Amino acid sequence: MSHVLKLEKKIFIRAELELLTGMHVGGSSIGLAIGGADKVVVRNPLTNLPYLPGSSIKGKMRSLLEKANALVKPQQGADGKWKAPICTDPKQPLVQLFGAPAESAGNAELWYAPTRLAVRDGNLLNEAELANAEATDMYCTEVKTEVNIDRLTSAANPRNFERVPAGARFGLEITVDIYNVDLEQQFDQKYFELLTMGLHLLQDDYLGGQGSRGYGQVRFVNLRVEQKTADDYRSASLPQPSPYENYFKNFTATGAVAEG
């Protein structure tokens, strides 16, 4: 394996993320107005629009992929509590793709393992549709009341959750850096197998909080894949269609997962 790290190409996976049920990705409650929600969603401080943090998508996909590929290894700490740390094995393609934690930086095997995957924050695409909806409670969002019942006293403890409503759409952009060492080991193929698997797992799971209560069901629509090689950057060329798009052939043109 070469000991020279050279960027060969950047791959761009772009899609729209559509909410099938209301989603709550928590934000700051500082300055919350009276009569608002107890738990608010994250918003852009300049536009006041809800957005989808890229870290939420990346972290959820990594967690789901670690479980699906049997990479979760619970450990018992000195305090007796069990924890499930993220996988840090540099020989795992998942670690090469998602990156290793900072405390692993001194590992000699990680010299060829810079984080390859970046997930951008997703901006709201259909603001006008949500802003003009008559039944929304706050700007572009709804408020849903959840009630906890004390099983001994039957006392009710209501909480109001702000949610981005079903039907909202966010822009999704994922970039993957491919290096010479990836092509030498054919790791690039494994990366896109993992990404395709991760997107399907996410569609069948949930994004954000309160997923077991029905929040956060999503699907990806209008998915497309492009790339720019190192030579394209030297010549200032535009992105071109990428052969890696074949890994996402089970997503139809409109983004719903193909049946069968």
From CA 122, how far away is CA 221, in angstroms rounded?
Answer: 14
pTM for this predicted structure: 0.85
14: exposed, middle or buried (Cβ count in 10 Å: 0-12, 13-18, 19+): middle
Tens-level pLDDT at each residue, the chain (260 residues): 556 788 999 999 999 999 999 999 986 554 444 455 678 999 999 999 999 999 999 999 999 999 999 998 887 777 777 777 788 887 889 988 998 776 655 555 555 667 899 999 999 999 999 999 888 888 999 998 877 777 777 677 778 889 999 999 999 999 999 999 888 888 899 999 999 999 999 999 999 988 898 999 999 999 999 999 999 999 999 999 999 999 998 775 444 554 44
Asked whether 101 and 88 are in contact (CB, 8 A), the reply is yes
